[in-house]
Structure 1
């Protein structure tokens, strides 16, 4: 299993979630987060925003599905070629997942 964590622009969340749902990947955890990447914040007029609002999507999936999910996220979260602030995707291995209500273990 893999865990995909995608930090994306808030205005792209609905599009990404809709496309994931259409492709059969409906299990997603979404959190509001703030942070900054390489751009180190943004200046608008005289105001400097050091921390920018983003959304964190977390998806645990079969290893063989991870590439398709990543492609869907990139396709639907990207604002333009080389645009700073579109986000980042992190992929890690999941050793096991346990359903609390049933105790079922997936490895």
Structure 2
């Protein structure tokens, strides 16, 4: 089993969740998070200190998937979450050794 964690822009969340309706998932959770990635240098362009230290709102969608279905789910997530603009987010795939 694998855990897929997709960190996406808030306005793309519903699109990703809609694409997961018929996906072969064992479970799914959604969490509002804040952070920054490569666009940090973009934030530093602001002169106001409040914005220079800002974290951007994101949504973390965590899914648990059988090994044989990971690629299928990944493609659905990428298709739904990619806008082609800076800060689209990240997708991580991690092994799950056990769960209860």
Q: TM-score, normalised by structure 2?
A: 0.84
Q: What is the RMSD computed on CA atoms of the aligned residues?
A: 2.1
Between the aligned partners of 2:87 and 2:16, the Cα distance in structure 1 is 16
Q: TM-score, normalised by structure 1?
A: 0.79
Structure 2: give runs of 5+ residues left out of the alignment. none
Structure with greater helix percent: 2
Bigger relative contact order, structure 1 or 2 (CA pairs below 8 A, ≥6 apart):
2
Between the aligned partners of 1:18 and 1:24, the Cα distance in structure 2 is 13
Structure 1: give runs of 5+ residues left out of the alignment. 99-107
Equivalent residue, structure 2, for 1:96: 98
- The structure-2 alpha-carbon separation of the partners of 1:16 and 1:26, relative to structure 1 and needing over 3 Å to count, comes to farther
Instruction: Indicate whether 1:33 and 2:33 are aligned.
Output: yes
Equivalent residue, structure 1, for 2:6: 6
- The structure-2 alpha-carbon separation of the partners of 1:56 and 1:19, relative to structure 1 and needing over 3 Å to count, comes to same
Q: Deviations over 1:14-65 (max 9, x none)?
A: 1111111133437310000000001115379765262100000111110111
What is the deviation of 1:84? 1.1
